[in-house]
């Protein structure tokens, strides 16, 4: 259900009236009906106040990275334009994570999760805050982030890193499948 605030984000009176920045958000899930969870989370992100959805990738299935044995992940990336400040957006994303009953051992880094939303890029900003590091420190090593980003914005150059195409070419190999719409 839409609320009036969100309608503003779609009728031209929202973020376009203010300075906006392009933000890439990575979505991941490996507990429950992950494809449905990621699709619903994309819709929830599209309805965050002061945000406009500009692009979304397909869903991808990949082997879990990290030391904890766990199920495959379903990942996707969206691009939004927003006039929110980075920490305000992070709070909105965490509220969506909590709405999906994210429930896991907080001490277990890189463990399984119902829904994980990471800010990958926020305009051309470099942020190194106790709550937020942008660009996401691992993004350039992660095919499950780079391939979906390439799908949305193949020409993007990330200052300090290089073009997305270059990064995807040099990222470590990962067993990964792009899911077609009938699986998504």
Residues that bind ligand A4P in the complex, under the rule CB under 6 A: 28, 62-66, 73, 75, 90, 109-110, 116, 118-119, 131-134, 136, 138, 144
According to DSSP, residue 156 is labeled -
Residue 50 partner contact from Mg ion, ligand A4P, none using kind-dependent CB cut-offs of 5 to 8 Å: none
Which C-beta is closer to ligand A4P: that of 14 or that of 152?
A: 152
Which C-beta is closer to ligand A4P: that of 9 or that of 117?
A: 117
Q: For tokens 């994570």, name the residue.
A: 97
For the bound state, the minimum distance from the C-beta of residue 118 to ligand A4P, rounded and expressed in Å, comes to 4
Candidates 52, 56, 61, 113; catalytic one = 113
Candidates 61, 81, 116, 142; catalytic one = 116
Q: Indicate the burial class of 100 (C-beta count within 10 angstroms; 0-12, 13-18, 19 or more).
A: buried
56 is catalytic: no
- List phi, psi (to 5°) of 51: -125, 145
Candidates 49, 54, 72, 102; catalytic one = 102
102 is catalytic: yes
**Contact yes or no for 2/94 (Cβ under 8 A):** no
For the bound state, the minimum distance from the C-beta of residue 14 to ligand A4P, rounded and expressed in Å, comes to 23
Residue 84 partner contact from ligand A4P, Mg ion, none using kind-dependent CB cut-offs of 5 to 8 Å: none
129 is catalytic: no
Angle of CA points 148, 109, 85, to nearest 5°:
60
Residue nearest to ligand A4P (CB): 28
**Lookup: tokens for 52:** 């406009």
Residue 60 partner contact from Mg ion, ligand A4P, none using kind-dependent CB cut-offs of 5 to 8 Å: none
Task: Dump strand ranges (E) for 10-163.
Answer: 21-29, 51-56, 59-62, 73-82, 116-122, 127-128, 133-134, 157-158, 162-163
Active site amino acids: 102, 113, 116, 118
């Amino acid at each position: 259900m839409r609320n009036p605030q969100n309608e503003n984000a779609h009728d031209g009176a929202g973020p376009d009236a203010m300075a906006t920045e392009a933000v890439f958000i990575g979505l991941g899930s490996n507990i429950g009906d992950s494809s449905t969870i990621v699709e619903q989370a994309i819709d929830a992100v599209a309805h965050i106040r002061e945000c406009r959805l500009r692009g979304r990738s397909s869903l991808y299935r990949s082997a879990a990275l990290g030391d904890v044995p766990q199920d495959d992940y379903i990942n996707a990336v969206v691009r939004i334009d927003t006039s929110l400040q980075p920490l305000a957006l992070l709070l909105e994303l965490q509220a969506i994570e909590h709405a999906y009953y994210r429930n896991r051992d907080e001490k277990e880094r890189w463990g399984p999760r119902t829904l994980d939303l990471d800010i990958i890029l926020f305009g051309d900003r470099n942020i190194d805050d106790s709550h937020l590091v942008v660009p996401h420190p691992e993004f350039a090593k992660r095919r499950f982030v780079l391939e979906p980003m390439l799908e949305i914005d193949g020409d993007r150059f990330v200052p300090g890193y290089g073009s997305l195409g270059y990064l995807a070419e040099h990222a470590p190999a990962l067993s990964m499948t792009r899911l077609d719409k009938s699986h998504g």
